[in-house]
Amino acid sequence: MKPWSQLRLGRKAPDEGVVEFPLSGNGAGMRVRLREPRHTQPARERKRSFLQPLPVAGVALVLVALVGYLAVYSQTTRRSGVLVATHDLPAGAVVRASDLRAAGIAGDHSVIAALVPARQLALVAGSRLTTAVPAGSPLPRSALGGRGAAPAAFTVAVPLLHALGGNVRPGDRVTVLATYQAPAGGAQTRAVARHLEVLAVGQAPSGFDRASATIPVTLALPDPSVASALALAGEAGKIDLLRDGARAAAPIPAASVGG
């Protein structure tokens, strides 16, 4: 083997990227393949690739989607003041200010536009309803008819325990029952007026006199001719109120005892 000093410098082999180093005189040697240098993309070229049309379009679409989401979120969470029924309002009732209250709701613009704004409470009072509005429901514009005159009304004095235990409320529909004492003894009870709307209820006293107290109940009279029967019941008999239920049209026969 030749000394290291006598070794010839390696020469490039015919194959691209291969260098030969001869180790002896007989032509034997070592072949080494050179690794191609790693090329890194310059910062300027990376910046230029980011500004190509496809990445820019993607960023623009993301921004448009974000703006649209924020607009929809703002629209659906913004609350508007509308009028809401404080109790069940039947069709044909004349709206009073006490029948409604202001409430804030969120919804689509077209839905809010179909409801009566809270600021129009004074304008709505005195209007007659064309459809019923349940308690807690927003008042739709379509439910308002023309302004109607106040209906005929009559006030009866009812013992607290005979007025549903004091639980009668404005908007209830009630039947007035009158009990009369017969001259020869005994008593008779009959219905003197049916399906009357309660317009107002007086305040019951507190304390020990509550059980024996009498409260005024104002009733709307579709037919004023029943006023005389109500007046007679209050003067000569005892009055009980029956809240009308689902079978309000069912007959109520008279009942008697003794006599």
Name the residue with higher pLDDT: 228 or 246: 228
Instruction: Give the pLDDT confidence score for residue 43 in this predicted structure.
Output: 54
Domain boundaries, the chain: 51-149, 153-257
Per-residue pLDDT for 26 more than 90? no
Task: Please give the distance of CA 96 from its chain centroid, rounded to a whole number.
Answer: 23
What residue has token string 């004095």? 157
257 has which bridge partners? 187
* For residue 136, pLDDT beyond 70: yes
Q: Is the pLDDT of residue 246 over 80?
A: no
- Output phi, psi for 102, to 5 deg: -85, 145
Which residue type is seen at 47? K
The per-residue pLDDT of the chain, averaged, comes to 77
- Among 18-27, 143-152, 203-212, 222-231, top mean pLDDT goes to 222-231
CATH of the structural domain 51-149, one choice from 3.40.50.300, 3.30.1220.10, 3.90.180.10, 3.90.1210.10: 3.90.1210.10
- pLDDT tens track for 95-117: 888 899 998 887 778 888 889 99
pLDDT recorded at residue 2: 47
- pLDDT value, residue 183: 80
CA distances (Å), origin 85, targets 11, 54, 81: 101, 56, 13
At 223 the three-state DSSP class reads coil
The pTM of the full predicted model, rounded to 2 decimals, is 0.48
Identify which of 12-21, 161-170, 246-255 has the greatest average pLDDT. 161-170
Q: Which residue has the higher pLDDT, 12 or 78?
A: 78
